[in-house]
Structure 1
């Protein structure tokens, strides 16, 4: 337990790790960039080898790269060998959202994590000369004197040599100190780092910065430790601030000092940066698997650099607010640690299933999880949903997957003996009739449904004897039937197989992905699986 954890006084409280009393072993795989690369395959595989040798229980990988065939993917190869040894591997989904098909770390034997918000904010208000107030967020350590200051658009403050496209983003070397000095600068989000925009404004002599989202980042506002008073506002509020500046002869504004606010709504919602499915390497496997808090996360921070990670920033702090799937990934890793302690005999697949099937797809207003533009989102963003750690402790049933099924999965991808050799020491006799859609995964994805298909799954009882009844939410234009529709479990470890038939409704199906849900319940447990289908 660490008392007094805060970022410049904000979010102050007592912190503890996700797996209290767990011991941490760190393996360095990333180094100063060489020709643009900093995390090399050889280092990643060497770290996996050492971690397996050391007997770790959980591996948390807040790293990734462009999606590639699994036999060329060092994380997929290393994690396969770790999973064979009973090690649960957790990976980041990537920060390339909000576009679809951007998710990284796409193999089925690890947990891939997206990023969503939590119900805590650090509000900092932008107050305009016409008395309109817009709530943004910030962790700026400095505050303005309580008076209004001239506010200027970055494009109106640009150097003659700068382009409008670069200046609107407050990029390096675009702002004219003669136009900026003593004013608040209005910058647009994009391209360069949010904190870099504040640095450029300060270097040009600005007293503050208003950072406005573009349309793609919508309502996702992040609390950053800016080097000057600043507030990050959403897209619609940004439009209104730009309108005010454009329509006012001498526009002025004020930025309030940040505060800490809890129990905010709606929460969680998906971060705009969180990478999304569908899976570009194996479309039959839904990725990401789960989402967890990854926006404005307070965490321990190195004192080897300033909180903005900019050379200009000479400040040093012990804790910082950071956003990214690199922050959501260790949330899941901590939960895995707790589950490993509670159920040491469970396989990595069983632990993964417990986390996925107990997740929620609702926010704290009992509405479907939204994206950063406050539009209902899909499993391509959140996978099975937002993690619920306490419910994962008692899932009732799990979808367990033996290692041999993963080998058959690789065979079904058509990998040859050379490609298979990075996963297996000896040649393997492939199961000729294995279909990827029948991998015993906690989600069901059929990317090319032609008329109808039958998918099989097997559930293992990890709770008390109970009878489970199935409930189905049909994807639009698809009928789903389950046989049998009742499963009776009499003892722990008992397994039951069932079939799911998906059929295209004549004249009703679309050519895009549609989503449904399959739930097994005994009245106490709700074992939920997303259904993702695209008819052809």
Structure 2
């Protein structure tokens, strides 16, 4: 909790504070609010010293389910005293919040009067195509058209397809302007599998993923949106005025043929942005998504894709082509906390979206899953006679483990996050009191299980937002990292955006936990993934496309990358949740997306079809392989027209250099276009956080733009110095910054060199 929440007030001023009480000191939950208030009044009287009772505190709310504790009018001195008491878990000052998205839009600075929102008129003239599992518009205000909405732009030629379970006339409008489905590939694949029954094709989303992503990108504002009371607020898409065209290519699974058909249709329909929350890690010429995306970008469509959710292992990042924007996931300044208290007096921070009554008035027996049948708490393997009425500590998993404990008669579950996830522990909508804790905390809880008569209790805080500790944003542990396996010179991911615990619209055909045994149905759900980060960038790109209609997809991506930020809300470098260390370009690309700054980047790096062909030639692709991507002819050697161009010369807004030896020297070329308001502008360069051990020479050191020179070229020559080649390190980070006094055009730099370099120098 930040110190300013209880800062001293010398004039005796009174504020409202929320006081989170440790469960053993709290009254038993009840709907009798008068009884709760009396109990908490006694609590205050007993906790505050006699000399601190004036002016007398007054309780304005007593909470039984949303949190354990109360809201009271207190002096700052009283609040500060409560904060340090063992019986109090937290004290936060009440804040005045304006209506906002359930965090992500406000976190991104996209308020109704922010520069990008105003300049783009909320993206009204843009159509975002969402390639996913379809859309669920039934009784979903996120996809309703406001009365002020006009017909979509005439450049969009798509529409909606009716189906027995999807009434296009009823569901489609000026907001949802397209809804189609593609399932032939899925039907064919399922027919080859014994016992498999293909799902019937329809635009309707029965999974939830597509609905969630579509509403993140461009959902209409919905007041009082929440999941079981969590994350309550105004939910709205990143480009809340933009139109949505949904292409269902992923019923119960995605086939490359269906996905390709969907992208093909979207290009024909004339969408402005494609949001594709799926992908592969394959050579570009055999990756259907990258092939189809190349065609889309060539048609002027911005394409955003996810980095993948297999992190934090090295080099698993997907969607590697330079023509797509590959998005990693970050956290926001909001958490869903649920403390776990042990009988030995220790308390650990858990995370949960459990919404039922909190039954614990006393501690419950605690057992380890391995001791009662399954350390992973697998369904059907837990011994009900040993689980009944107890809290079970489980290794790994999510809501499914909690369900297994519930079915075995357990009273609750504590679920360990993955060991390599570090600080990340996912909150899930459990069916019983259950929380996820970090792996390190789970180890300590496991050790406690070995003591005589271990007991535990789970409490619920509900939503904690604002300045949470640790700071935000952070790179999500699950978010895939670089380097780029196919082309190390192209930095991937490109950027990070909110992707942890995002609230957005949900299907009425699936439960929030996505478990078949879960009967609950909700209009909004909270889930995490780079799939959630991707439509945030899709929405921002739609806003930029309206505000800057002459920019190419590459220039939009350039603006996003060169204006991204690298500092968290405490002023430090953005951290990696997996390690707790500062994140680098392989973890967060250019940094965290900053929509309003991207509106006016100063300079942009462009790339078009011939640039991408040069890139593929430099990779060593054959004319035939390139033709697969471009649809071009194989009659002549296309690369003969693109000789003497290195992979690193691709006009990318970042520099990634992989030295092959200690005496290697690499020169990369770039061209920038002046898009600032001043035609005559002079930019000079500097470095950010220049590490010792390497050099970079920029030529020319100054760029002078005028009406006749709106685009200028420069080179950077990188070389290792003995200080680096003789060290044990194999990676260095920096950034090249061009500035005209108003704009800062920042390109990340990441240098790598072989682990054997130091040994070679010594020999």
Taking structure 2 as the reference length, what is the TM-score of the superposition?
Answer: 0.66
Unaligned stretches of 5+ residues in structure 1: 33-37, 159-166
Q: Secondary structure at the match of 1:260?
A: strand
Is it true that 1:129 corresponds to 2:333 in the alignment? no
Cα deviation code 1:215-270 (max 9, x no counterpart): 211110222111111121123322322222222x1111111124111122311111
Structure 1 residue 213, shift from structure 2 partner: 2.4
CA contact (8 A) 2:739 2:745 kept: yes
Aligned to 1:157: 372
Cα deviation code 1:127-183 (max 9, x no counterpart): 11222221111110113223211111111111xxxxxxxx22222332111111001
Aligned to 1:210: 414
Separation in structure 2 between the aligned mates of residue 21 and residue 479 of structure 1, nearest angstrom: 47
Aligned to 1:461: 674
Aligned to 2:572: 367
Aligned to 1:162: none
Aligned to 2:465: 262
Aligned to 1:516: 734
The aligned runs of 1:228-267 (5 Å cut-off) are: 228-247=432-451, 249-263=452-466, 264-265=468-469, 266-267=471-472
The aligned runs of 1:322-471 (5 Å cut-off) are: 322-372=527-577, 373-427=579-633, 428=638, 429-450=640-661, 451-465=664-678, 466-471=681-686
Structure 1 residue 282, shift from structure 2 partner: 1.4
Aligned to 1:296: 501
- Structure 2 vs 1, CA of residues 493 and 388 (structure 1 numbering), >3 Å: closer, same or farther? farther
CA contact (8 A) 1:306 1:313 kept: yes
Separation in structure 2 between the aligned mates of residue 381 and residue 51 of structure 1, nearest angstrom: 31
Residues paired across the two proteins, number: 518
Separation in structure 1 between the aligned mates of residue 731 and residue 675 of structure 2, nearest angstrom: 33
Structure 1 residue 31, shift from structure 2 partner: 3.2
CA contact (8 A) 1:279 1:287 kept: yes
Aligned to 1:315: 520
- Structure 2 vs 1, CA of residues 287 and 476 (structure 1 numbering), >3 Å: closer, same or farther? farther
- Structure 2 vs 1, CA of residues 356 and 178 (structure 1 numbering), >3 Å: closer, same or farther? same
Separation in structure 2 between the aligned mates of residue 128 and residue 507 of structure 1, nearest angstrom: 51
Structure 1 residue 331, shift from structure 2 partner: 0.7
Q: Secondary structure at the match of 1:39?
A: coil
* More moved, 235-244 vs 436-445: 235-244
- Structure 2 vs 1, CA of residues 425 and 243 (structure 1 numbering), >3 Å: closer, same or farther? closer
Taking structure 1 as the reference length, what is the TM-score of the superposition?
Answer: 0.94
Separation in structure 1 between the aligned mates of residue 585 and residue 630 of structure 2, nearest angstrom: 32
Aligned to 1:56: 271
* More moved, 130-139 vs 331-340: 130-139
Cα deviation code 1:29-53 (max 9, x no counterpart): 2233xxxxx3222112111111111
Separation in structure 2 between the aligned mates of residue 299 and residue 243 of structure 1, nearest angstrom: 39
Structure 1 residue 475, shift from structure 2 partner: 4.5
Q: Secondary structure at the match of 1:306?
A: coil
Unaligned stretches of 5+ residues in structure 2: 1-220, 755-763
* More moved, 442-451 vs 478-487: 442-451
CA contact (8 A) 1:462 1:492 kept: no
Cα deviation code 1:319-362 (max 9, x no counterpart): 11101101010111111011011011110000000101111111
CA contact (8 A) 1:143 1:257 kept: no
* More moved, 436-445 vs 361-370: 361-370
Aligned to 1:35: none
Separation in structure 2 between the aligned mates of residue 468 and residue 174 of structure 1, nearest angstrom: 66
Cα deviation code 1:474-518 (max 9, x no counterpart): 345211121122222335981111110101103532572322211
RMSD: 1.6
Structure that is richer in helix per residue:
2
Aligned to 1:24: 244
